[in-house]
Amino acid sequence: MGVLKPIKVKADVREEDGGEPLSPMASLFHQPNSNIFIIIMIGFKTKINSQVIKANILHTLPSHPRFSSLQVVDETVEGGMKWVPTNVDLDNHVIVPNLEPNDNIDSPDKIVEDYVSNLSKSTIEMSIPLWDLHLLNIKTSYAESMAVYRIHHSLGDGTSLMSLLLASSRKLSDPQALPTLPIMKKKANSSGRFLGNYLIKFWLVLVLYWNTFVDVLKLLATMSMFLKDTETPLKTEFGSTGTTPRRFVHRMVSLDDVKLVKNAMNNVTINDVMVGVTQAGLSRYLNRKYGESKIDKGSSEKYNNLPQNIRFRACSAVNLRPSAGIQELADMMSKGTVARWGNQFGYTLCTFTIALRDDPLEYVRQAKAAMDRKKASLEAYFTYFLTKFIIKFCGVKNVSLPSQMTMQFSNVPGPQEEISYYGHPVAYVAPSCYGQPCVSISNLSMTLKIEFTSIS
């Protein structure tokens, strides 16, 4: 395979990056409760040629200003940090561990899980840009080999990193063409009489502001410790800094199966189905835990071991860029763009229903109702601007991501067709993160499958 062309980044971005201060959201990810690293596991259908990977990375990632800059203390601003460009030595970033031959490994999946778990015990030295890549030539249930990116969250959010991943990939059917970007479809405006549309829009605006008012009150009550989640086997102790080792579990489900459920119901999305599946899995897991190892005989209410009125909430990140979906990398790095690179997200506090249902589709119905309710709220925008406000006037040390929730939940759109990454056909992409003081579940949709990654 030939070397990929350098990724397109506007020159003026690099020139202005010397001494540029970290954004408020980037600074947030250096606080104890929010010192988060993103893990991206990429499974390949072939063995890894580490020399090919290194040769291509040399012409791609170092040209990106965030992946070729140090984060150093800004002595002119209390608690501030700034980006300082530096030379990238790939030997400090690309790691190829010596693993035993597959014939001598009884459980390769467990070997990979343990390896990624060990990464969560450590961080990356501040003397180099905060990212590294681990190449594992070991066959697992889903791939012949895999690469594991570890990237500090201050470098960018999931939307930014996915745009970078796709910019470094090519279509498997056309090695010279970039992959198709996942674009979120917007609903068409309904046609009708002027007065009817006006009344509907007026009502929707009232609902939007009322929902936002209620959500903000709940958020403030949570931040002041008046509103807490129920203590469950999945709830971590408040005040935990997320520095304990984490276990990463990756599972794959068929996108066709998810679409089968979606098409069997009215006006639901794939994300609604995935949230419903997550609620069902969490409910059954907690039912088994509360049943003290009793055999799970089904979802009938008469075998319900769950306490009544469990409050189980998840912190869910929301992309706040005006252009929905994944954007081209060059556009995200352009000066003055609205879909800019970085951490452009707010978060919402989503209530998960923990209960056993005889009808499995009830989980999806409840998930749809909850997701529709959150879409009709400005809570994510409020949390984003509240965080920036506190950092500006009170200092970054006085703010962190919410740690009172039981779980973090994220959903990132992935490649829409078969792709290759630096000449290696990709079997799956599974993002996750560590450093947060709670359980985390992430999912990413690809061509024919959806990747689930659980961190506990």
Which residues are identified as catalytic?
A: 153
The three-state secondary structure class of 444 is strand
Question: β-strands 407-413, 312-319: how paired?
Answer: parallel
Distance, in Å, from the CA atom of 412 to the CA atom of 442, rounded to the nearest integer, reads: 8
Render 163-184 in DSSP notation, one character per residue: HHHHHTEEESS-TTSPPPP--P
DSSP strands (E only) in 174-323? 248-254, 312-319
Tokens of 45: 């259908």
40, 429 Cβ separation under 8 angstroms: yes
User: Is residue 352 within 8 Å of residue 360, measured between CB atoms?
Assistant: no
Closest CA to 95 of 57, 60, 63, 126: 57
Query: Helices 270-290 and 361-375: crossing angle, nearest 10°?
Result: 120
Cα distance between residue 69 and residue 13, in whole Å: 12
Nearest alpha-carbon partner for 52 in 103, 24, 81, 90 = 90
In the sheet where 145-152 sits, what is the strand order?
94-95, 131-136, 145-152, 37-44, 424-434, 419-421, 169-171
Query: How many angstroms separate the CA atoms of 311 and 290, rounded?
Result: 15
Q: Give which of 159, 155, 160, 163 is closest to 128, Cα–Cα.
A: 155
Q: Do the Cβ atoms of 94 and 57 come closer than 8 Å?
A: yes
Contact between 48 and 135 (Cβ < 8 Å)? yes
Q: Are 82 and 21 in contact (CB under 8 A)?
A: yes
Beta-strand runs (E) in 18-73: 20-21, 37-44, 69-73
